[in-house]
Amino acid sequence: MTNTEFSTVLVANRGEIARRVFTTARNRGLSTVAVYSDADRDEPFAREADAAVRLPGNAPAETYLNAEAVLDAAKRTGADAIHPGYGFLSENAGFARAVIDAGLVWIGPSPEAIDAMGSKTEAKKLMEAAGVPVLTNLETSEITEDILPVLVKASAGGGGRGMRVVRTIAELESETAAAVREAESAFGDGTVFIERYIESGRHIEVQLMADNHGGVWAVGERECSIQRRHQKVIEEAPSPLVERIDGMRDRLFEAARAAAHAIDYSGAGTVEFLANDKGEFFFLEVNTRLQVEHPVTEATTGLDLVGLQFDVAAGHHLPSDNPPGLDGWAIEARVYAEDPRHDYRPMSGEIFRFDFDDVVSSFAGPHIPGIRLDAGPVAAPGDPAVVGVNYDAMLAKVISWAPNRAEAVGRLSGTLRRARIHGLGTNRDQLVRILDDVDFRAGDINTAFLESTHTEVSMAPLADDETVAVSAFAASVVAEAAGTATNPTRRVPAGFRVFGDARTTHRFFRGHDTDNEVEVSVVRGSRVREGAVTLDGREDVRLVDLTPSAGVAPGDTEPAAVTLEVAGIRRTLTVHRYPGGGVGVNSALGPVVLTERPRYDDPSDIVAEGALVAPMPGTVTSVAVAVGDTVTTGQKLMTIEAMKMEHTISATSDGTVSELAAAAGDHIETGTLLAVIDSPENDE
């Protein structure tokens, strides 16, 4: 292959991966082009590119999966190379051919290699012939109770979409149908296959980098065993398992290189394996693209994997026969807009603040021990980021790099714990709980980690009830200061009494959960008590100092600093207040997000007994009942697709379906009435 240099790169993707590719392109003096949907018109990646082209619409099928529109954008902007990122068209051989046929440089593996790995069933056959260990596929007729559980997987994609664990024969048909629907929606191909499910396996993958001249690097392995819904949450390099078992790394690398040679691979790719604690491993798939978790490999090798993709696409050789060795340990945590305590319900709305300490790099490196932050949305003071429901729920990747695993884990845990994430809910608390778990610290993990004895611990919020009460007290003190600041005629706080204590009561919702109310009262002592300000019922919680110059009025860019004495220990809490009643309180006690409760309930927000409303915006994909049907508690009524995942709406009581207010295909918002169930408990 002759060298094919290029000067302008179009990234056929969005969010943090687009920003990641732009970073390397800028460092090399290349021009950049973004494509964006209507929902993404104000996103940072669209603003940061040298040129940006609108793809009309919001749905992936009409925007980022629209190959013709992407190619037209390249033609209009003069782009001479296309990088697909990951997801969307990144593993679409037809798109790769169209790019090449248009005379553009395709920054990815050959269409033939993508084709070879595009069907996981055919890929297994190729790998088995190449001597790579595999798990065999199962026909539905072969599956018996003795074989269960089994895993239904989408043939055309990954990321946990189109994937279902089946534990009973009765569920096989319905779960397979659900996997087909999800795969069709996410990848445009509903083909699925079934294989034996290994409950306590470990997910190990090898990063490949290959050129067009026969050079193949097995750059290093990653462990991605911490998953929810078969989607990765925490990844690290190297793998604790591989470090522990002599010779396993060599065997993994040999199998990965064999996989690459079997399909004449070029560019960046990943061979994924399912391993057990004995060091045995089985082929899962080859991801013919860059992986979400590539930063941990960059951190531990010093490589720029996107830069190497550029070099290979331009026809260059790999810089040496062998990749660099490993240096230190890196761990990545994916911050998702979701609520783990409610079945990982995706969250949408505004992010008011998204700040992390100890960040030494973004979208590159890091080259010194510290934190790398690769974020999609950016929330600036007074300019919140908006997260919708059209795309993946991942907000950012937070990566720590340190000389050893213990330090890398501790650094990442501390950074996440101190992060100021205000607004919509995220999985931040769960990430910290996992990182602090004794078994995780020991490296004793597997793909069932979050579905085992660790479930309850990982779901616990970082802030306990005591911390929430103290934080709500601090927020109340600031709210009262705001009332005085915005009303100069008020010389004394609300509720003031000349004789006796003055009490003012404040009510909050914890986060956005209207079923979880927090009520505190601020007690201001009379002159006899020298004006002490305490938490009602808690003489051991009192105000020491308030810095009200900032953070008092909603929307102030800096927080108010509230110093309290709690059980004889002085604590400083920072309080951010936002328009609409949002409050973020941060301290060493733990992060707390509150929403100021309206003084009076809006009648339109009151939900009648038996009414089921949408917990999130999305699209109704199926309805499993009809008006007049008798249902039992927990029975599936319908499914909703949000952020490319299906979510089940179940009956909350026994009764009869008296109303269905939504049908398959309906687009719904949070709070939309879905169904009404009449039951003896709510007849009144």
Q: Tens of pLDDT along 448-505?
A: 999 887 888 889 999 999 999 999 999 999 999 887 654 444 444 544 444 457 889 9
What gap in Å lies between CA 471 and CA 307, rounded to an integer?
46
Q: One fold for both 8-107 and 198-327?
A: no
| 3-class secondary structure, 358 | coil
- Helices and strands in the chain, H and E counts: 16, 39
CA dist 293 → 186, 300, 333, 445 (Å): 20, 12, 9, 18
Superfamily of chain region 136-196: ATP-grasp fold, A domain (3.30.1490.20)
What is the per-residue pLDDT for 62? 94
Tokens of 359: 């960040």
Q: How far apart are CA 302 and CA 319, in angstroms?
A: 14
Task: Give the start-to-end residue ranges of the domains of the chain.
Answer: 8-107, 136-196, 198-327, 334-434+455-461, 465-596, 604-682
- Cβ neighbours of residue 404 closer than 8 Å, sequence gap 6 or more: 328, 329
Given this model, what pLDDT does residue 597 score? 87
The confidence score (pLDDT) of residue 470 equals 97
In this structure, of 27-36, 456-465, 599-608, the range with the lowest mean pLDDT score is 599-608
Res 549 pLDDT > 70: no
What CATH number does the domain located at 8-107 have?
3.40.50.20
What's the pLDDT score for residue 337?
A: 94
CATH superfamily, with its number, for domain 198-327: ATP-grasp fold, B domain (3.30.470.20)
- Residues 333-359, mean pLDDT to the nearest whole number: 92
Mean pLDDT across 513-531: 77
Q: Which residue has the tokens 């809006």?
A: 602
Whether the bond between 238 and the residue before it is cis, its omega within 30 degrees of 0, is: yes
Fold of 604-682: OB fold (Dihydrolipoamide Acetyltransferase, E2P) (2.40.50)
Which single residue is written with the structure tokens 């969250």? 347
Residue 608: per-residue pLDDT: 65
584-603 pLDDT, tens digit per residue, is 999 999 999 999 987 655 55
Res. 206 pLDDT band, cuts 50 70 90: very high
Length of the chain: 684
Q: What is the pTM of this model?
A: 0.84
Tokens of 318: 């790999």
Q: What is the mean pLDDT of the chain?
A: 89
Question: Max alpha carbon distance in the chain (Å)?
Answer: 90
pLDDT at 491: 45
User: Backbone dihedral region of 659: left (phi > 0), alpha (psi from -120 to 50 degrees) or beta?
Assistant: beta
Predicted local confidence at residue 335, as pLDDT: 97
Second CATH level (architecture) for the domain 334-434+455-461? 2-Layer Sandwich (3.30)
Question: Which spans in 391-493 are helix H?
Answer: 405-418, 428-436, 438-441, 455-459, 465-486
Does the structure show a pLDDT above 80 at 198?
no
In angstroms, how far is CA 650 from the centroid of its own chain? 24
Token pair of 234, please?
Answer: 């925490």
The 10 Å CB-count burial string (b at 16+, else e) for 135-154 is bebbeeeebeeeebebbbbb
pLDDT at 122 over 80: yes
